Amino acid sequence: MSWVESWIALSGLIKGLQEAGELYSRFMGYHNEDSYGAGKYLREQCETAVVELERFRQEFTKSLPNGATERIDKFLASKPAQAAKDVSGEQRSARGALVGLVAIEAELTFILYGRNEQIRARSDRAFLLLQRTLAVDAGVKEKWQIAFEKGEVECERLGSLALLSQGIYAFKVDAAGARTDLVFSEPPDESLLFRSVDGLVLTEWKVADAKSASARFCEARKQADLYKQGPLAGVELTGYRYLVVVSLKALPITSIPVDETSPDGITYRHVNIVAEPDVPSKASKKA
Q: Which carries the bigger pLDDT value, residue 29 or residue 180?
A: 180
Q: What is the mean pLDDT of residues 70-78?
A: 93
C-alpha to C-alpha distance for 162 and 131, rounded to whole angstroms: 10
Identify the band that residue 287 occupies on the pLDDT scale cut at 50, 70 and 90.
very low
Q: Which backbone phi and psi does 66 adopt, to 5 degrees?
A: -55, 130
Q: What is the mean pLDDT of residues 202-227?
A: 96
The pLDDT of residue 279? 67
Listed in sequence order, the DSSP H helices in the chain are: 3-30, 38-59, 68-76, 79-83, 90-109, 115-136, 138-150, 152-164, 190-196, 213-224, 280-286
pLDDT tens sequence across 127-183: 999 999 999 999 999 999 999 999 999 999 999 999 999 999 999 999 999 999 999
Q: Which carries the bigger pLDDT value, residue 40 or residue 274?
A: 274
Buried/exposed code over 21-31 (b: 16+ C-beta within 10 A; e: otherwise): beebeeeeeee
C-alpha to C-alpha distance for 128 and 59, rounded to whole angstroms: 37
Buried/exposed code over 195-231 (b: 16+ C-beta within 10 A; e: otherwise): eebebbbbbbbbbbeeebbbebbebbbebbeebeeeb
Flag whether pLDDT at 286 surpasses 80.
no
Q: For 92-96, 207-211, 220-224, 230-234, which range has the lowest pLDDT when averaged over its residues?
A: 230-234
Domain ranges of the chain: 3-111, 137-286
Burial (Cβ within 10 Å: 0-12, 13-18, ≥19) of residue 82: middle
**Is the model's pTM score more than 0.75?**
no
Q: Is 62 helix (H, G, I), strand (E, B) or coil?
A: coil
pLDDT tens sequence across 86-133: 887 777 888 889 999 999 999 998 887 777 878 988 999 999 999 999
C-alpha to C-alpha distance for 146 and 187, rounded to whole angstroms: 27
The pLDDT of residue 35? 64
The pLDDT of residue 66? 62
Radius of gyration of the chain (CA): 25
- Of residues 5, 9, 245, the one with CA closest to residue 127: 245
The set of residues, in sequence order, having a beta carbon less than 8 Å from that of 71 and lying 6+ positions away, is 104, 107, 108, 111
